[in-house]
Amino acid sequence: MTVTQALVGPRHHGVVRFGLALHDAMHAIGLPLEHAWSPDVADMASAGGAGGVHLQFTDRLFGDSPGGAARAVADIASRIRVTVTLHDLPQASDGRSADQRAAAYADVAARSAGVAVSSDHERELLRDIGVDVTTVTVIPLSIGPPAPVRCRRAGVPSIGVFGFLYPGKGHEEVIAASAALPPDVEIHAVGEPSAGHDALVDDLTARAGAQGRRFHVTGHVSDQALVEVLQRITVPVVAHTHVSASGSLGSWLSAGRRPLVVANRYSREVVGRNPGMLTLYSPPDLPQAIRGAFNDPQSTWLAQGLVPRPTPTDTANAYHAFFERWHR
């Protein structure tokens, strides 16, 4: 049966981009997957066909609140067979919203015939909120092949963090770790602020300014320009203070970069599949790790011939098997 993948939210949102890339990867190897897209979940009432519907779910795209997002999925599941990939899994570091998000994700999982997540770490986060993970399928995020190196030197020395700006993404930690560096080293936020976090730019700009350095926000970067932008960064850093699975980490690898990545359960999982492709650091050691990268720029590039895993084809085949299991 043909499954319809339902995508909700802005097309440049990471979860929507993930779904579009999955659709393209499956079609590239001749596997069936239809998809429907809407900027708002209210327009998804008729999504799906005889084969059922697969949702790429994060609560922030499906409702104004975690409970509202869960109710939207419950409405769809009341009319058609639903499977789901859960993104941005709830965890204790969510703060005041942690309990509400945990309840919403548990409800969505309970209403879905099949549940997929993008890392073993995420499956453990589900276990932490009381979900039975016995049948939860782990399908790691795909990573495109490293692009040819087009630009190894930046106009100015820079430290780059890629992805939407929001509290906990790591920009604050990178600025703090840069305190002893020369003031001509710039901090580049490659991306745009998440909805409701525009004020964060002013705060980060002030923090960098107190060191006499520039904090630069690129805004949205098109797919066509992204590789060149990421290759122009001198030192790439992935410094999420809480993470479930990271598409931005994969984007650095696809650009041929070997980023500095904070050591945690998820990043160790990625290293297990991709030895020699990340430089892990403990949070207190970030200043030293950044200085080491500036002193050895070659260490921030992938060695020639390395192929990150899983590839888009690996992930497409894994999702095909998932759909075959839950949408027969």
pLDDT tens digits for range 17-38: 999 999 999 999 999 898 899 8
- Return the pLDDT at 153: 65
Q: Domains (ranges, CATH) in the chain? A: 4-142+311-326 (3.40.50.2000), 158-300 (3.40.50.2000)
Encoding tokens for residue 244?
Answer: 């479930």
How many Cβ atoms are within 10 Å of 282's Cβ, its own excluded? 11
* H or E element in which residue 57 lies: strand 53-57
- Return the pLDDT at 154: 61
Does pLDDT of 50 surpass 70?
A: no
The separation between the first and the last C-alpha atoms of the chain, rounded to the nearest angstrom, is 6
Q: Please write the tens of the pLDDT for every residue from 187-212.
A: 999 999 887 788 899 999 999 999 99
As a whole number, mean pLDDT of residues 90-94 equals 80
Does pLDDT of 1 surpass 70?
A: no
* Spatial contact of 62 and 86, defined as CB atoms under 8 Å apart: no
* Spatial contact of 237 and 161, defined as CB atoms under 8 Å apart: yes
Residue 90 makes CB contacts below 8 A (sequence gap 6+) with 98, 101, 102, 104, 105, 125, 129
Does pLDDT of 167 surpass 80?
A: yes
Does pLDDT of 114 surpass 80?
A: yes
**Residue 49's pLDDT band (cuts 50, 70, 90):** low
Burial class (CB in 10 A: 0-12, 13-18, 19+), 261: buried
Give whole-number Cα distances, 160 to 23, 149, 210, 244, 300, in Å.
30, 17, 19, 20, 12
d(CA 211, CA 315): 43
* H or E element in which residue 216 lies: strand 215-217
Mean predicted lDDT score pLDDT of the chain: 92
Instruction: Using alpha carbons, select from 248, 251, 249, 259 the residue that is nearest to residue 302.
Output: 259
Does pLDDT of 152 surpass 90?
A: no
Q: What is the dihedral of CA 291, 293, 295, 297, to 10 degrees?
A: -160
d(CA 127, CA 106): 10
Q: What is the DSSP letter of 165?
A: B
Q: Please write the tens of the pLDDT for every residue from 245-280.
A: 788 899 999 999 999 999 999 999 999 999 999 999
Burial class (CB in 10 A: 0-12, 13-18, 19+), 196: exposed
